[in-house]
């Protein structure tokens, strides 16, 4: 028995529409309640939209101020160095550790300062305790 595609789709549609009703009934509201009593309505929507807009505004203002602080930071640092260390020679004022210094030198300096720093072997991880013995 050969069915045409149209007859097959009609048979499938009939099978789907004739599906049995679910055993669990659809949830309903408690007696005495209407949907207007439990939904936030237009006031809730407007309040939520206002909170979202205020959050976006605050985040944008914070990003702008952080960028401004990061931009002015080197200038402020130079001003503080000039104000409080102006009497010192330039090589002393520059001070600090160079960021591109050799890592081995840094490690030996830290090991001299803090004896035992990174000298113990890395402990092997243990299996987590499952509580079953």
- How do the pLDDT tens digits run along the chain, 133 residues long? 555 666 767 766 666 665 566 677 777 888 888 877 788 889 999 999 999 999 999 999 999 999 998 888 888 877 877 777 777 777 766 655 555 556 677 778 778 888 777 777 777 778 777 777 6
pLDDT given for residue 18 in this prediction: 58
pTM for the whole structure: 0.40
Contacts of residue 39, defined as CB under 8 A and 6 or more positions apart, other chains included, come to: none
């Amino acid at each position: 028995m050969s069915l045409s595609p149209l007859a097959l789709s009609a048979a499938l549609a009939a099978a789907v529409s004739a599906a049995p009703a679910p055993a669990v009934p659809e949830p309903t509201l408690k007696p005495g309640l209407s949907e207007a009593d439990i939904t936030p309505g237009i006031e809730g929507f407007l309040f939520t939209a206002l909170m979202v807009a205020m959050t976006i505004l605050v985040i944008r203002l914070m990003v702008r101020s952080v960028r401004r602080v990061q931009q002015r930071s080197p200038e402020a640092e130079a001003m503080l160095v000039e104000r409080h260390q102006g009497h010192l020679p330039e090589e002393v004022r520059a001070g600090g550790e160079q960021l591109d210094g050799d890592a081995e030198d840094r490690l030996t300096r830290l090991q001299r300062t803090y004896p035992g720093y990174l000298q113990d072997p890395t402990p092997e991880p243990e299996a987590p305790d499952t509580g079953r013995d």
